[in-house]
Chains A and B, each alone.
Chain A
Amino acid sequence: MSNNFVIDKTKKEILSTLVRGGKSCLITGATGAGKTTFCYSLADELNMNPVVINCGSTQDARTSLLGYFTLEDGNTKFQESDFLKAIQEPNTLVILDELSRASDDAYNIIFPILDFRRNIRVDEVAKGHEVEVDGSVRFVATANVGIEYSATRTIDRALQDRFMVFNLPYLNKRQMKSYIKKQYDSETAEAVTPLLEVYAYTHKMFGDGKIGSRLSTRAVLDVLPLVTTFTMKDIMETVILSQFSQDSSSIINDANIIREYADSLGIYN
């Protein structure tokens, strides 16, 4: 696995071993914690080709997961979906992204693929109506689980039984700094320190129930290219605080609670 991802070493090795051995794994965690990025790095580690299937867009499950008919030279022709192609392609790591947003129909399609049958009946395909999953194909999925997330739901028990579940927590500020140092340089890591403090503060305040949301790992990483060009105050006001409630009719809102802390760090001096 590439060194550019920060995760508990033992957890990383267990996950890697399980997936290599054919066990499907479900990575849970808050949005922006780096679940999808982690899946890519897992593919890199296992030397497999990653194919991401966005389960949040599987409301029309058959079309999204199996395929659709097109008109070609006056004849209808079944076009296999990316998912269907991927499960037949040797050495593919299928990443079922945002699985918690998938529809029931999508679950019903995915179930037989993940259990011992490792095949799926697709009436539209000519070759005996059944598509076999290639023996070298592996599956990982990601899911947001918890009250913080909209349009998600608890994962079907039957589906959960088909996965080993791993939780990927948000990185703490020390891990973030170490990651930024590796990905960028010490100067950037130093410049972003106040932001990492704010990041940690939002997590504490969120955990204490004092604010309604928190900064994600991704939200901080996204602003890194800005830190050398813009002031921390500008980044706070324009990018970071826009992710929090800012009811202008009241002094009490999440953004002001975070501003208060940012002031203590000297961001508003």
Chain B
Amino acid sequence: MNFNPNEDTEIDAEFMEKWLGGVEIDSLSPKTLFDLQTLMSHYKDIIVPMDNVKISFPVEGFDTACASVDEKKVFIPTQVLQEGRVDDTIGLVIHELNHIKHSERESVLIKACSNFLMVCLDSIFVKVPDSMLKIAPNDEEYLSLKEIVYRGGFDFNNLLKSEPKTGTEQFFLQCLKGVMLLLNSVEDVRIDSICPPNLKKYIDKLDIYGFGEFKEHYESGMLDEDTLMNLVFRLLFHHKGFVHDVSVDNRFGDIEFIKNSTPKQYIPTLLKEFRNEIKQYCEEVFNSSDIDTPTMGNKTNDYLQMMEESSNEESFDKTLAEDKSFSEDCVRDVEFEDSELNPNRKRDIEKTQYEIKIEEGSTLLEVPSYLKASIDAFKDVDVVDCSEQFTTRHGDIIVANYKTLLIG
């Protein structure tokens, strides 16, 4: 949006003008915009006075406000202010700062979500694409999405920080975003419900604006189907009190539970409750994705190894140990309905132990037996440089160099 300060913009600063010392905001010159943003930045001194939070007002690149709890940064698109929505901008600043104050670090959430996603993807069975038939164990016709898509080699934490480089990364990013959106909708409800009333009035006003955009779709029935994305919005506006959604109410309707829980307490319940919608969402993302043909690595499962390495590093760190425990809580006792793509097939995955060498030691990991077979088959692969001499019909000697693959 090109901002023209001379444009007649209708300005809504009803709440702010009550305390602005008699100043009426009747135009949004660049100086006024800057001054308002500077003044609004002081909400960090009110909400998170002990934290060094950086509030930015980007003019492009951000469609919605967001916060990074890990990095203690808040981003509020300048566009909202340019539209004359002064009180709404304050609402956004307050809301995002409340994330910094109350919400769990996204690195912890990503770890828990990725852990959950792995279990989820392992429950979705699809027909093995032709390009992958050669790597399917025992010529299986169906494999889990996890087996098909995940070959390691990337860090889930980096997925949200940089542009995905491959179709596989794009797939995981979409899945992760979907789950994170679900978590965020409940977290928004939680942190807003515990916001002090004098600050909450700005958020309430912002919600009325947000609901205005949602209402038409909701009333038209467009959001009736229990898909993950529909539930994200329905959860939000049900708990904000704008609609009474029976499905949400029956499944995750206890607002007191939300208000009185920490994210680490309610997220495992939330994920378990909406596991099948998440699974369906992942299937849809997969069907619309351009997944790269994966190549079989010669390493053990990177994901499992990554988890194991981090657990070793974290063994003496209470916080990280709690994070790991939270991550495990998110997948404990989670059972998925059979995949629609392969309703008649659900493989019993026999678990077995596999010893992984890590520098000076080794550790035992529990892995599916078929994975162990794959690892065992490939771990002793050796490449040998060979050289042979041949004598031609004319008596010349030639040397042929080639590589030989030896499977021990």
Residues of A that sit less than 8 Å from B by CB: 201, 204-205, 208, 210, 237, 241, 246, 248, 250-252, 255-257, 259-269
Contact = CB atoms under 8 A, between A and B. Distances in A.
Contact of A251 (B32, B197, B198, B201): B32
Contacts of A267: 19
25 contacts: A201-B45, A201-B46, A205-B45, A210-B42, A210-B45, A246-B21, A251-B25, A251-B32, A252-B35, A256-B20, A256-B23, A257-B39, A259-B19, A260-B43, A261-B45, A263-B198, A264-B43, A264-B46, A264-B196, A264-B199, A265-B198, A266-B197, A268-B18, A268-B19, A269-B201
A264 B20 CA distance: 13
B49 interface: yes
A256 B35 CA distance: 11
B43 A259 contact: no
B158 interface: no
B23 A248 contact: yes
A267 B22 CA distance: 15
Contacts of B295: none
Pairs of residues from A and B, 9 with the lowest C-beta to C-beta distance, nearest first: A251-B35, A268-B19, A263-B19, A266-B198, A259-B19, A268-B18, A252-B35, A264-B46, A264-B198
B402 to A, nearest CB: 71
Main secondary structure of the interface of B (DSSP, over half): helix
Nearest to B197: A266
Interface of B: 15, 18-23, 25, 32, 35-36, 38-39, 42-43, 45-46, 49, 196-199, 201
A193 to B, nearest CB: 14
Contacts of A255: 21
Given A204-B49, A241-B21, A251-B32, A256 B198 contact: no
B19 A204 contact: no
Contacts of B196: 264
A256 B13 CA distance: 15
Contacts of A263: 15, 18-19, 198
Nearest to B32: A251
Nearest to A269: B198
Nearest to B94: A264
A260 B46 contact: yes
A241 to B, nearest CB: 7
Contacts of A269: 18, 198, 201
B39 A251 contact: yes
A260 B42 contact: yes
Contacts of A262: 19
A250 to B, nearest CB: 6
